[in-house]
Homo-oligomer: A and B are copies of this chain.
């Protein structure tokens, strides 16, 4: 009954745990992302916002927070920062005076496109050991995990 060893350490309870492996793998991608664009002051969370607003201009803060499954209170500081960087702007909605419609500035569009390329390069240079088929399978499986939760 010899155990799962690495550097002489027994990882029995963690080795086959998806939650643990997902956490470790996510940390790796966080590092890769940071190397790709930490210099720009953009974190994965901020990039998510840019990506959503880029392709869906005019959404409210709450709509973006729903799209990314984060609390809407988290949007305030994030949008404040992106507005300070002059890549996103809040425009008052005519239909609903409570809410803002979010748009990328011209600078923000170019910025987002550049970040998208940089992150793609950084990630693909790193996960090129995955075939395109494996990559798709992995993405689909992760999606199934994410969706499985929605129903519960």
Contact = CB atoms under 8 A, between A and B. Distances in A.
A42 B146 CA distance: 23
Measured as residues with beta carbon below 8 angstroms from the partner, the interface class of chain A is 35 or more
Contacts of A44: 19-20, 23
A33 interface: yes
Say how many copies of this protein the assembly contains: 2
Contact of A18 (B21, B139, B148): B139
A19 B29 contact: yes
Which secondary structure dominates chain A's binding surface?
A: helix
Interface of A: 3, 7, 9-14, 16-33, 44, 48, 51-52, 54-56, 59, 63, 66-67, 69, 112, 116, 119, 123, 126-127, 129-130, 134-135, 137-139, 141-146, 148-149, 152
